[in-house]
Amino acid sequence: MMSDLDDLGIAKSRPDSLRFNALNGNLAIHRYDPETRRRTVTDLPPRTRWAVDMPTRQRGFGRVTDAIYDMKLSPVGALVPEVPDSDLYKPAVSMLLYSPEWGLVEWQTAAAIAVRAIVGFWDRYKAAPEALDGDIPIIELGEPRVVVMGRDANQREFYAANIAIVAWMGRDVIPAFRVRPPTVAPPQSGAGIALAAPLASRLAAAAAPAATAAPAPVPKAGGGTAPKRSAAKRASGLLDDDIPF
């Protein structure tokens, strides 16, 4: 028997979610089972390979907490979505990936470490001659890289995704990509597509290495300085790319 949603087609169905855990370097797929109404988590082995649908990648801003998941995204090169003037919204990215073994997934995150890795991959894609012809990259998600944050006794080790381009292919070969209209043009002459200035500056800030100098005290109303954020609070912005259900 057909479902009443079958005629929506592949392009209207929500892909499973790919998650990267910066605390332990674990990569996993989070799926929703409509029969049991539960989420399942499938840990992935090292060195999985994926085709990436670069013509539908998005960027913007996101706010993720235990109770809030708000992503304001638009295709790369399009107008940047309006976002409240709040430090609670951070640069966010999204892209679709496909593997014959694992299926179609969406990697959407506002975590700074993950955003840094993905934007670096996007930059390498735009500089490749194959991208000028409209081909899409095949990537390997290898062993995660260690990232050291903080200074002196406050140093902590986290993990960053290791994204390597290993091959190229035509986009139309993959049905799950072919049915989705492209929203991002191929890069021109290797220059890529310019981001709007406000978003570009914030993405650059997210990708910059941690400063070695201690931050200046923040003034607060009534004089004095605002209390420093705890190490856990500072780390939350780097790690929180989990979608609350």
Q: Is pLDDT of 8 > 50? A: no
Give, for 93, the enclosing helix (H) or strand (E). Answer: strand 90-99
Domain membership of residue 226 (yes or no) is no
Look at the chain and report how many structural domains it folds into: 1
Domain membership of residue 245 (yes or no) is no
Mean pLDDT of 65-91: 86
Gyration radius (Cα) of the chain, Å: 19
Mean pLDDT of 184-199: 61
* Span 120-143, pLDDT tens digits: 999 999 999 999 999 999 999 999
**Per-residue model confidence (pLDDT) at position 96:** 97
How do 90-99 and 103-109 pair as beta strands? Answer: antiparallel
Domain membership of residue 148 (yes or no) is yes
**Per-residue model confidence (pLDDT) at position 229:** 45
**Per-residue model confidence (pLDDT) at position 177:** 95
pLDDT level of residue 81 (50, 70, 90 thresholds): confident
**Other CB atoms closer than 10 Å to residue 145's CB: what's the count?**
14
**Per-residue model confidence (pLDDT) at position 206:** 52
Domain membership of residue 128 (yes or no) is yes
**Per-residue model confidence (pLDDT) at position 68:** 81
Helix then strand then coil, % of the chain, to nearest 5:
25, 35, 40
Closest among 108, 198, 125 to 163, alpha carbons compared: 125
Range of the domain at 185: 14-211
Distance, in Å, from the CA atom of 22 to the CA atom of 156, rounded to the nearest integer, reads 11
Domain membership of residue 101 (yes or no) is yes
Place of tokens 């679709």: 96
Mean pLDDT of 187-207: 54
**Per-residue model confidence (pLDDT) at position 42:** 93
Distances (CA, A) of 121 to 65, 114, 162: 26, 11, 9
**Per-residue model confidence (pLDDT) at position 138:** 97
Q: Is pLDDT of 46 > 60? A: yes
Domain membership of residue 134 (yes or no) is yes
Q: Is pLDDT of 199 > 60? A: no
Q: Is pLDDT of 94 > 90? A: yes
**Could you tell me the pTM of the whole model?**
0.72
pLDDT level of residue 188 (50, 70, 90 thresholds): confident
Phi-psi region of 93 (alpha: psi -120 to 50; beta: other; left: phi over 0): beta
Domain membership of residue 23 (yes or no) is yes
- Of 83 and 229, which is predicted with more confidence? 83
Mean pLDDT of 210-216: 41
Q: Is the dihedral of CA 88, 94, 99, 105 positive or negative?
A: positive
Q: In the beta sheet, which residues pair with residue 11?
A: none
Give Cα 112 to chain centroid, integer Å. Answer: 9
Q: What percent of the chain has pLDDT over 70?
A: 71
- Of 207 and 133, which is predicted with more confidence? 133
Residue 135's φ and ψ, nearest 5 degrees, are -75, 160
pLDDT level of residue 88 (50, 70, 90 thresholds): confident
* Least confident interval from 39-43, 50-54, 94-98, 181-185: 39-43
- Of 105 and 225, which is predicted with more confidence? 105
Distance, in Å, from the CA atom of 213 to the CA atom of 106, rounded to the nearest integer, reads 37
Mean pLDDT of the chain: 78
Mean pLDDT of 156-173: 94
Domain membership of residue 177 (yes or no) is yes
Distance, in Å, from the CA atom of 194 to the CA atom of 122, rounded to the nearest integer, reads 12
Going through 76-114 in order, the beta strands assigned E by DSSP cover 90-99, 103-109
